């Protein structure tokens, strides 16, 4: 039986439980709902899933290489709520008590670190499960790498991706380039939504091939793609 590696996208999990669980506080008056929910998730993973390896990955404060490339990246995101910010040090104390490995790399996002560890686990023939709600992780899906939804306790794999987006993991970057990402403030192609992006990639397979045959695209979509071409490589 293969060893298992669970990679936790800490901020993704923390935000989920913070918004899902009502207000709670300690005897000292500190908010604790995120600490409670995060602890519950850790106990579930350790007792029910019993992974061989369990690693928690954090975003490190400060800009990343993406901010240097694109100043508007995530520019519209609101700051972390004060009631959640107060709980982050407590969560780090909790992880230290669990003796859980915590990883973060300056200049990179947690997603980048997760992707690196996931591919290394795959190389070592481990079954890797990424605990994150970030759809960017879908590009990593393979026979060994899957996404685990803690809230639904469901595994999302290549077949799930094909059912949901109609594309393969190898097409995820091209799909998201066409659709754009409002959460990260990454521009897509105006007028190209998920359904159209899927149809185009099913026909042309890759974004490069689509651009090579853009004259075949009917109607306004062709003009929109051609107008967006200068931004597509950045996206």
pTM score above 0.75:
yes
DSSP characters for 192-219?
Answer: --HHHHHHHHHHHSSHHHHHHTGGGS-H
Say if CB 155 and CB 145 are below 8 A apart. no
Q: In degrees, to the nearest 5, what angle opens at C-alpha 18 toward C-alphas 45 and 98?
A: 35
Per-residue pLDDT of the chain (235 residues; tens, 9 = 90+): 899 999 999 999 999 999 999 999 999 999 999 999 999 999 999 999 999 999 999 999 999 998 888 888 777 778 899 999 999 999 999 999 999 999 999 999 999 999 999 999 999 999 999 999 999 999 999 999 999 999 999 999 999 999 999 999 999 999 999 999 888 888 899 999 999 999 999 999 999 999 999 999 998 999 999 999 988 888 8
């Amino acid at each position: 039986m293969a060893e298992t590696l669970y990679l936790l996208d800490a901020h993704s999990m923390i935000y989920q439980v913070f918004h899902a669980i009502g207000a709670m506080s300690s005897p000292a008056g500190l908010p604790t709902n995120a600490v409670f929910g995060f602890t519950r998730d850790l106990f579930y993973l350790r007792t029910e899933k019993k992974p061989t390896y369990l690693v928690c990955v954090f975003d490190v404060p400060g800009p990343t290489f993406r901010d240097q490339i694109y100043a508007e990246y995530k520019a519209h995101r609101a700051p972390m709520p004060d009631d959640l910010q107060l709980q982050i040090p407590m969560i780090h104390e909790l992880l230290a008590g669990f003796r859980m490995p915590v990883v973060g790399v300056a200049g990179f996002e947690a997603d980048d670190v997760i992707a690196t560890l996931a591919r290394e686990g795959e190389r070592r023939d481990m079954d890797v499960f990424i605990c994150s709600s970030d759809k960017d992780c879908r590009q990593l899906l393979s026979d060994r790498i899957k996404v685990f939804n803690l809230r639904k306790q469901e595994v999302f794999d290549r077949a799930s991706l094909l059912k949901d987006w109609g594309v393969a993991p190898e097409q995820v970057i091209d799909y998201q380039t066409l659709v754009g990402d409002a959460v990260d403030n990454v521009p897509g192609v105006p007028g190209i939504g998920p359904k159209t992006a899927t149809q185009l990639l099913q026909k042309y397979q890759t974004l490069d091939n689509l651009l090579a045959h853009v004259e075949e695209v009917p109607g306004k979509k062709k003009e929109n793609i051609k107008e967006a071409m200068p931004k597509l490589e950045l996206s």
